[in-house]
Amino acid sequence: MAERLVTFETDGDLGIVTLRRPEKFNALDIPMLRALEAALDAAEAADSVRVVLLLGEGKGFCSGGDVEAWSQMSAADFQVQWVRYGHRVFDRLARLRQPTVAVLSGHVLGGGLELAVACDFRVAEAQVKLGFPETSIGVVPGWSGTQRAVRRFGAQTVRRMAIGGETFVAAEALALGIVDRVVDTGKAFIEAKAWAGKISERGPLATQAAKLMIAVAESEESAAATEALASGFIALTGDLKAGVDAFKAKQKPAFSRS
């Protein structure tokens, strides 16, 4: 991340991931996606971080995928290097162990909206517009705009954006459940940070477990989440220690059901 395209920093028990390409309204290209993935890995590894904020530097949150970055790709490269890799990074965000809040201080369109959708919560400033304009230039949402967004907001809302071409102002998006809170211009970060602070006061393990259970309910990551929850429970029992100790001693374990 030599160019600091995406940064991760901590503020107490909050983690802050910032997209830093303001001259392009934080449009995503391959280097940006790689930097975002690295920043999310850092957030995941930060034991002290209980909530993660995602924001964009400058006047926008994220204007989506950089057309110049993908328009010259071959069909094969577009599928693998762009769409599938972007999915991997966005899934990384959606499956971050900590709750996440997107700070929407500028228009949130296309891939930018897909990025916001991958967060648990969204705080939008009143002037923000949201939508999926991809079909207007002959492409389709490729980073879960027709999948995760449908699961979270409903098919008809996504139809109106992706097929009907509608964009919604923040107040309309609030009524449709696309964003969770709307604030005055310039106040999104303050509101998101305050909300994150309240979330961080809750039991961290319970909060992370609740996030996993909700992910199972909306088919976000059923297999991994189920195994993570079960493994976490087992790790708290005496069975794990008994089994590991016996393995190291090359003996048969004596499980106590404790």
DSSP string covering 180-202, please?
SEEE-TT-HHHHHHHHHHHHHTS
Q: Do 19 and 6 form a contact (C-beta atoms < 8 A)? A: yes
Task: Specify the DSSP class assigned to residue 46.
Answer: -
Q: Per residue in 8-46, is it b (16+ CB within 10 Å) or e — as a string?
A: beeeebbbbbbbbbeebbbbbbeebbebbbbbbebbbeb
Alpha carbon separation from 142 to 64, 79, 156, 227 (Å, rounded) = 11, 9, 18, 28
What span, in angstroms and rounded, lies between the C-alpha atoms of 131 and 113?
7
Task: Establish whether 134 is a catalytic residue.
Answer: yes
Bridge partners of 6? 19
Catalytic pick from 9, 37, 68, 134? 134
Task: Report residue 189 as tokens.
Answer: 């970060």
Task: Establish whether 114 is a catalytic residue.
Answer: yes
Catalytic pick from 114, 125, 191, 220? 114
What span, in angstroms and rounded, lies between the C-alpha atoms of 16 and 10?
6
The catalytic residues are 114, 134
